[in-house]
Amino acid sequence: MTVYADYEYYTETYLSGRSAAVSAADFNFYAMQASTVIDRYTFGNVDAENVPEAVQSCCCELAEMICAEKTSQAAQKTGISSESVQGWSQSYASASDRHTASLCAQRECIHRWLSNTGLLYSGVR
């Protein structure tokens, strides 16, 4: 399995001086999951020997999203999606709703970075 971005690319190129949302220790784990998502949408058409910068950046953004999702899942075990204090109201989101929203966000990320690369083409070449 090819991981499309490394921590050096993440910190030096993708972040451009911003602080990292994923630690160095965790980055490879989340980048591997992100690369799997990219492979699913690109049908494995990314050249592992010459990974385009758009794919590397997409991998970094997806890794951040997956990391944030795992962190929020741990924090939201109760499923509370919103809370109002004055009139005391709570709204609950199901795990299915959260998963669907996550998949939608991943799809948007893939299309934002890869729509002009030809990698999303699923027809005959």
pLDDT of 18 above 60: yes
- Quick: pLDDT tens for 25-56: 999 999 999 999 999 999 999 999 999 999 99
Q: Give the rounded percent of residues in the chain with a pLDDT score beyond 90.
A: 67
Type and span of the H or E element at 80: strand 80-84
Q: Which amino acid is at 104?
A: C
pLDDT at 88: 75
Residue 84, beta-bridge partner list: 89
Q: In the predicted model, is pLDDT for residue 111 greater than 90?
A: yes
Predicted TM-score (pTM) of the model is 0.82
Q: Six-digit token pair at 97? A: 């709703």
